[in-house]
Structure 1
Amino acid sequence: MAREKEPLSGRYPVTFGEVELLRDLDRPDGWLLTMDGIPQSYVDLSDPTYLDFTYVQLMAEVIDCLPERPLDAVHIGGGACTLPRYISAKRPGSRHLVVEPDAGLVQLVREQLRLKSVPRLKVRVLDGRSAAGGLPDDFADLFVLDAFSGATMPVELATAQFMAEVARILRPDGTLLVNVADGKGLAFVKRVVATIGGAFRHVALLAEPGIFRGRRFGNLIVAASPAELPIGPITRRAAGGGVPARCVSGEDLTRLIAGAHPIRDGDAVLTPVPPPDLFD
């Protein structure tokens, strides 16, 4: 049997710039993918259940609370396909549609990070809006939105019109997970939650306590569903993780986002920018 190709550290040109692939000195099969100095993805090729980024761990905590069965998942934002690898390892038989607009990045991940080893995974080189518009109703159990331009979430993927598309694509008991970055005051994430709340009856917000308090810039995870979310298990798993996190839902979440207006196509929205030393 031929030995799998060993990834090579280095800088690689992709469609929208340049990425750097770095070996983790603490984990022989761990690899970090960065773009413009900003960490984008981490994968362990020999252990896809190992998750290095805290926000990805939070997404996984929510996924692990869903009914135990294979999932049909849509992922907007590909990177190194960390979550598809995780889900396939934990839930054999799952199917993944990954949407990534950077064709060069997709090719790099195929060549260097063994993307073909992930079963039942398809990649479409498209932007998120175009890809979602082409998907049928009731297509997915899980919709993961983890798309960034640099360190900010594209506003066109945070509008009421796009969330209506996501709600159409998800099955009646499906789950949406959104990665949002924000800083002091959480003005942007509050508007995103208000927007998602217009399309989904049940919504929760997860993050480390310091991010909730506005002490530092960081990632927050929005979970939403037409059906009731397993808030109790999610709350316990988030609190007991390697980096303890809070889960806010119900009336507490309503109070947190009070006064925030949903985002609509064409709105002028100021997206949060991380401090310049955040990734040093």
Structure 2
Amino acid sequence: MKQKFILRLTSIFVFVFILMGTFITTEAAVKKVAIGTFANGAKSRYGTLACSNLESNIFSGLVQNKNYEVVERAQLDQIFRELGLQNSGVVDSKSAIEIGNLSGADYTLVGKVLTAEVIPFDNILYRGYKGKVAFEMHFVDNKTGLVLYSDVISDTDSQMYSPGVSVNERVLISGAAHNAANKVLEKMNEITPLTGTVLNVDRAEDVVYFDLGYDNGVREGDTYTIYKEGAPLVHPVTGEILGIKETTLGTVKVKDVKSNYSIAEIKKEKSAFKTGDKIKRGE
């Protein structure tokens, strides 16, 4: 009798341990990002406007995406001042690790506006003005200090010529910065995939519904992988939960996006999809 009680108690303990591990890992899947003040490398009023618009658009995009948590601006500004990093547009390995230690952020995004200009264009068929913004971004892992991604992201916005209508330069720069910010967010999502849960599998329509939508950064045509989570991966020495085993079940392609959920066509199904399976961006 006593032996059965001990075995039952042990089973309950193991179950609770796995359950707690799942919750801890799920919580850790939300990545915390520090967004530094972007430097005005263009040295112009357009550059200042572009910096402001890039920061606000990227911040808003991350806040709306449940895959991320953003460090409060006041806290980060204080940290940057202490480290002497204001308006530099770069973060070295040592500073990145310090930012992580002081703010709890997993990643730091910094950068510099290289180009912010409004120029006329005339390609015979169309005349008008084009706003252009080029942004040098650096996405850094605060645990290792390694730069995960570094590149120049650029985009434009245009206004067609109309007699008697003056060019709105601020709108063009803001539009170009908004478009460039979307590219930055897409790149960040590639590096840290968006994850969610399958809500329903419709066999008649050969589609799945899942709990991520436009507000989370899902776009029509995106490919997502459906997978099943298994037991926690526990370090044998430290006991630290490092992650969860994953079994890939197949892939889907998004066909319709709502504000808080999406519908995707089943493309490849190695094992039957079920409600409650996990889903993440990419293949």
TM-score (structure 2 length as normaliser): 0.29
Whichever of the two has the greater Rg, that structure is 2
